[in-house]
Amino acid sequence: MESTIFILLLPFLSFLLLGVFGKWFSHKAAGLIGTASLLAVAVLSYATAYDYFFCLERTAEGVLPTVVPYNIHWLPFFAEGLSFDMGIMLDPISVMMLIVISTVSLMVHIYSFGYMHGERGFQRYYAFLSLFTMSMLGLVVATNIFQMYMFWELVGVSSYLLIGFYYTSPAAIAASKKAFIVTRFADLFFLIGILIYGYYCKSFGFEFDQAGFAQGAAMLPLALFLMFIGGAGKSAMFPLHIWLPDAMEGPTPVSALIHAATMVVAGVFQIARLFPLWIEYAPGTLHIVAWVGAFTAFYAAAVACCQSDIKRVLAFSTISQIAFMMVALGVCTEYTTGHHHVGSLGYMASMFHLFTHAMFKALLFLGAGCIIHAVHSNEMSAMGGLRKYMPITHITFLIACLAISGIPPFSGFFSKDEILTAAFAYMPAMGWIMTAIAAMTAFYMFRLYFGIFWGTENKELHAHHTPHEAPLTMTLPLVFLALVTCGAGFLPFGHFVSADGQLYDIHLDWNIAGTSIVIAVASIFLATYIYMGERQPKADALAEKFKGLHQWAYKRFYLDEVYQYITHRIIFAHVSKPIAWFDRHIIDGFFDFLAHGTHALSFRIRGFQSGSVQKYAFVFLLGTLALLAIMVLA
Amino acid sequence: MIQIEYLLVVSAVMMFAGVFGFLTRRSTLAILLSVELMLNATDLNFAVFNRMLYPEGYEGYFFALFSIAISAAESAIAIAIMINIYRMIKNIQAGELEQMKW
Amino acid sequence: MLLGLWLARDVKGVRAVMVAGSTALLVLAGYLTLTFLGDRAAGATDEMLYTASFDWFAPLHIKYSVGVDGISVAMLLLSAIIVFTGTFASWQLKPLTKEYFLWFTLLSLGVFGFFISVDMFAMFMFYEIALIPMYLLIGVWGSGKKEYAAMKLTLMLMGGSAFLMCGIFGIFYGAGGQTMNIVEIANHTGGAHAIDFGQQCIWFPLTFIGFGVLGALFPFHTWSPDGHASAPTAVSMLHAGVLMKLGGYGCFRIAMYLMPEATHELGWIFLILTGISVVYGAFSACVQTDLKYINAYSSVSHCGLVLFAILMLNQTSCTGAVLQMLSHGLMTALFFALIGMIYGRTHTRDIRELNGLMRIMPFLSVGYILAGLANLGLPGFSGFIAEMTIFVGSFQNADTFHRVLTIAACCSIVITAVYILRVVGKILYGTCTNEHHLQLTDATWDERFSVICLILAVAALGMAPLWVSDMINTGVAPIVDHIHASGQAVSSCNPFN
């Protein structure tokens, strides 16, 4: 367990090395350094996970203990019980996250060799990837909420840097700025939440059995809710999701790593981390999370059905899937787990879905990267009929689509089924809503799939530039992730992660599972029916029929425009500009007025100083006489 | 023995003649003369008071001598300035000297 | 050092002397820090260490007494770093090099003197010494509306020092007219409590505003944008980096330490003003188009945070304030250095005319991005720890009034992100459209050196804050305790409570 420190240090060192001395390395060397350090990290993570899950003794209650191999006093706050510590904490979810992050990150590193081949700034790219990996790992192993916040910010910055990687493209610049500012805005609430939490609970730590929490109970719902807003910003919950689709301006592997698999689940992870507090002190607020999640899931699924840019479709599907995880957490009603209690099933389901989603969504994005690499465009209109050019990509993409649609035996089926079970247990209405959204998921994913790999070929474009299968460095990660996606569903996930740490056997509720399979298959057929044919006449007819609605959804319900209006028209034009004007003209004007006033006054006064000695002497004389008179009279 | 009052009256007349001249004359030369007149009036006063009231001391005489020396130096400087002014503006009327104002 | 400059004949000589002198200063400051830490660790518990004192002007009990505590050591270290890097940043300054460095050195003399003085009058004198060279440095070597800016800056600061002078003499006589020594006034036989409450309420605002002008307290901050915009690079660095800290330091050391009751009584007014500074500065920075104006307003915001934090009156926030002084000093110095270097090449600071500099001068651009990220509180740089300490500290005040202000201040971090990213996006990213700029070169070795030094300092503070924070706390704790010991407000006139 002591070796965990290297999990953080290695990527950091490689970041420093590549960031500072990057330009003296060749592309190959830089990539190798980055990948090698990540490989070491992945190996260490697997070793840690093995140690943790299989070698560590469970406690008497059958719970996996929390291990804190490092914890140093980093920055003292001279207030009661508060300090900013840095350390590493291992518990089931952080170990699980270690595996997810290091696996996906390693795959992305390998993949980028091919994808970014010959790009300018290759070294910089690897440096940023290392920085991101380091901060994300730091986030999940944080021993206290402040450390989490710190790495949270670092994650945000590395995401900013990577989205803006193509810094000469205006869209990328705008997108990176937007991503950073929106998440920063959400982080503000996170910070305030932390402050409240720290003040009332007298601790920033994650040891939830302290007396302080009972004292702070009254304020905890507020604190937790504020933190949730922070998490909603990172995890792109409605209405703070607007940055995520734009973030697709970054290189595709980055989208796979950051904006699909790891960073965006930070919000989910944060709630999971504080889950005991949520359940204990703020169950009502937790259900708000569930409803926010449900709405987001629906909204994103609806938008995803109408997008034409494949990365955007994937981005909205990511939003929708993360919202599934949020719902799963939100529908929990109790802390203990048992075969007859499904009250805390959602926690496990959420983490399980996080795990499986990370794998298949990374797979989808990497596949999309191969496609974009092949056709040099993100638009679906440039694709179609690609299955004969890129067989490996085609098969792996199909596997991922099946997984996300919830078709057994792929991993997504198992985790999504747990979520649906939890939702039904909470409230049948919620369960049906989520099932419907799952159906929409299947629909838009297959719309995408058929649009890319079947459908009409864009002949003139392809004649101009024949699509070809991606190089080995790119297909290898695809195959690996596809294998994981096929197998992950059969992991006894409940044995590793569950709300109270007890062993929990996943069992399928065939009522629910059956329904969801039927619905998923039905919507796949629907998608096949609509999109498989030549030039999609039916789809176009439908789009024509519901033109307004389609246009609305295509424009993402005009939310971006609303934000644009608020920031530019209201904040910039009606707050900042007047303040700047006020500063220049009123305040500065006042001081300038003082200066000019003094000047003008002295200009008037100088008339007295005529320079004529005789006048002075006369005044002097008069003065003397006046003084004399006063003296005589007094 | 001349009465002290007579002498003081002489010096007072000189003094006020000087003051009047200083205030009213336009020519700087005349103003200088007036200043000299005032200085001489004071010198006279010094001498008179010393002679009449403290005949055993000599400070008044010394002071008067000192003051005469100073006024000689001062008028030398003043005339030098006037000559310079005259060279510049061809005039030594006090009212015309405005160039150095402000 | 001054002497050396006087003797130096040519430009080379001047530079050599300057480098030697500033290196010596840096080494001395480093040594001082180390010995100070060592002595504290060894158990020296006096409030001030290494004190020395001799009579200067006996009738008014003015002594030249010096000594340092945790706060001043930190400040001295900061000043030494900035003078050192400032020397390198003005390496290529052309006309009147010798005179420039002469005034520059005098300025730093004033700053150093200010931080080591424990005598109010000596402090005041050093303050004035630091002020006057500013006028010449901006007026002669500046750019843009330099005469106007220099005059405005000097007049406003002089106005502040007039207030200050009244305040200082008020304290002096109020405390019995026996001593000008700050520590003695505070602790001597009843000490500061001997100052009559009514009098405190007069002298406290005077002193606070006097120093507040220098610390860019709203609404006395307007000298700062013009002054910074016109000043030459190294002067901007020293000015924003160190001189503005004099304000915060003075407020804390004199105004609040010596007049605790008035602080409790009237602190809220200034708290509101500083709160306004923080948010207002940040909003103003959003729409400026001149790089230096942006940073000047950002300084207003960050220095506002310093004053804000000390008025929160607890150990955490006050330690945070000093950390913020350190961190803001280094960051702003870095910023102004970089802006100076960019301006020196492109001859414009208007962000509408600059774009795509990343391709042309990668080193400066990366430096600028790092400075920007540090400024918006990226963890790993000093801004983050300072802001977090301040926010945690401020949040310890549980009443609504303080809470609302704290949350408002927190909002500034978002706005900071907006204006920093706006600039970065506009001037560094994108493609360069101005063909004159395409020929420009990247930083020279001396510029690189000074930028790297500053970045390292910022990162060092951000990565390992523990020792600095502890050191500062040894200085802050007695003062805060003292303020608290004097009890709460006699009659609380804060309408918000």
Question: Do residues B29 and B82 make contact, with C-beta atoms less than 8 angstroms apart?
Answer: yes
A82 inside 8 A of chain C by CB = yes
Give the pLDDT band of residue A628 (cuts 50, 70, 90).
Answer: very high
pLDDT of residue C491: 45
A368-404, pLDDT tens digit by residue?
A: 888 887 777 777 777 777 777 777 888 888 888 888 8
pLDDT digit string (tens) for A112-140? 887 877 777 788 888 888 888 888 888 88
| Whether the Cβ atoms of residue A331 and residue A427 lie closer than 8 Å to each other | yes
Cα separation, C153 vs A568, in Å, equals 33
pLDDT value at position C348?
Answer: 77
- Whole-number pLDDT of residue C6: 42
Low-confidence ranges of chain C (pLDDT < 70): 1-66, 90-97, 176-178, 187-195, 434-438, 443, 486-497
Cβ neighbors of C434 (< 8 A, separation 6 or more) are C353, C354, C355
- Residue C216's contacts (CB-CB under 8 Å, 6 or more residues apart) are C224, C244, C247, C277, C281, C299, C300, C303, C304
Amino acid at A568: H
H or E element: which one contains A410? none
Residue pLDDT, tens place only, A534-587: 555 556 666 666 666 666 666 666 667 777 777 766 677 677 777 777 777 777
Distances from the Cα of A154 to the Cα of A157, A206, A406, A431, angstroms: 5, 20, 34, 37
Q: What is the pLDDT of residues A496-526, one digit of tens each?
A: 777 666 666 666 677 777 888 888 888 888 8
B14 has a pLDDT exceeding 70: yes
Provide, as residue numbers in chain A, all residues whose Cβ is less than 8 Å from the Cβ of C316: 77-79, 82
Subunits adjacent to chain A (3 or more Cβ pairs under 8 Å): B, C
| Nearest CA-CA distance, residue A90 and chain C, Å | 22
User: Min CA distance, B61 vs chain A (Å)?
Assistant: 27
* Mean of per-residue pLDDT scores for chain A: 79
Q: Look up residue A512 and give its two tokens.
A: 């629910």
Section A150-175 average pLDDT: 84
Q: Which residue has the tokens 């920093």?
A: C420
Contact A614 B94 (CB under 8 A): yes
What's the rounded mean pLDDT across residues A291-304? 86
Predicted confidence band of residue A487 (pLDDT cuts 50, 70, 90): confident
Q: Which two tokens stand for residue C272?
A: 């509101």
Q: What percentage of chain C carries pLDDT values higher than 90?
A: 0
Neighbours of chain C (3+ CB pairs under 8 A): A
Q: What is the pLDDT of residue B80?
A: 92
Residue C220's φ and ψ, nearest 5 degrees, are -105, 30
Please name the residue that has the structure tokens 């067989």: A391
Cβ atoms of C236 and C228 closer than 8 Å: yes
CA dist A370 to A160, A364, A462, C236, Å?
Answer: 23, 10, 15, 51
DSSP A363-377: HHHHHHHHHHHHHS-
Q: How many CA atoms lie within 13 A of C146 on its CB side?
A: 16
Whole-model pTM? 0.82
DSSP for A98-147?
Answer: HHHHHHHHHHHHHHHHHHTTT-TTHHHHHHHHHHHHHHHHHHHT-SBHHH
Interface present between C and A (3 or more CB pairs within 8 Å):
yes
- A16 DSSP 8-state letter: H
CB A239 within 8 A of CB A559: yes
Cβ–Cβ gap C287/A146 under 8 Å? no
**Which amino acid makes up residue A363?**
L
Q: Do C392 and A198 touch (CB under 8 A)?
A: yes
Residue C429 to chain A, least CA–CA distance (Å): 5
Best-predicted range by mean pLDDT (A155-169, A375-389, B66-80):
B66-80
Q: Which of C396, C414, C473 sits opposite A188 (nearest CB)?
A: C414
Residue among A610, A611, A621 whose CB faces B19 most closely: A621
| Sequence-ordered list of residues with C-beta below 8 angstroms from that of C414, at least 6 positions apart, any chain | A181, A184, A185, A188
| ipTM entry | 0.83
CA distance B9 to chain A (A): 19
pLDDT at C21: 64
Contact A612 B95 (CB under 8 A): yes
Side-chain half-sphere exposure of C203, counting CA atoms within 13 A: 26
The answer to whether A621 contacts B98, with C-beta atoms less than 8 Å apart, is: no
Does A606 lie at the interface with B, CB-CB under 8 angstroms? yes
- The b-or-e profile of A484-494 (16+ CB within 10 A means b, else e) is bbbebbebebb
Which chain A residues contact residue B102 at CB under 8 A? Answer: 606, 609, 611
Q: Which of A504, A319, A349, A503 is nearest to A411 (CA)?
A: A349
In whole angstroms, give the CA distance from residue A558 to residue A544: 19
Q: 3-state DSSP helix/strand/coil percent for chain B, to nearest 5?
A: 80, 0, 20
Q: Judge: A609–B94 Cβ closer than 8 Å, yes or no.
A: no
Contact B22, B31 (CB under 8 A): yes
CB atoms under 10 Å from CB of A28, counted, come to: 11
Give whole-number Cα distances, A595 to C151, C155, C219, in Å.
10, 9, 16
Which of B31, B94, B102 comes nearest A606 by C-beta? B102
pLDDT per residue as tens digits for the range A3-58: 777 777 887 888 888 777 777 777 778 778 888 888 888 888 888 888 887 777 77
Residues 116-175, chain C: which have Cβ within 8 Å of A? 151-152, 155-156
pLDDT at C239: 82
Count CB pairs under 8 A between chains A and B: 23
Distance to chain C for A184, nearest Cα, Å: 6
Per-residue pLDDT, A528: 76
Residues in A touching B19 (Cβ below 8 Å)? 617, 621
Q: Which of A160, A176, A576 sits opposite C286 (nearest CB)?
A: A576
Q: What is the pLDDT of residue C4?
A: 41
Shortest distance between the Cα of C464 and any Cα of chain A, in A, equals: 7
Would you call A595 an interface residue with chain C, using a CB distance cutoff of 8 Å? Answer: yes
C291-302 confidence digits (pLDDT tens): 888 888 888 888
Instruction: Evaluate whether A256 touches A362 at the Cβ level (below 8 Å).
Output: yes
Backbone dihedral region of A230: left (phi > 0), alpha (psi from -120 to 50 degrees) or beta? alpha
Question: Considering only CB atoms, which residues of chain B are within 8 Å of chain A?
Answer: 19, 22-24, 31, 94-95, 97-98, 100-102
State the amino acid at position A521 in one-letter form.
Answer: V
- CB contact (8 A) between residue C356 and residue A154: no
- What subunits make at least 3 CB pairs under 8 angstroms with B? A
Q: Specify whether the CB–CB gap between A75 and A132 falls below 8 A.
A: no
Q: Note the pLDDT tens digit of each residue in C123-140.
A: 888 888 888 888 888 877
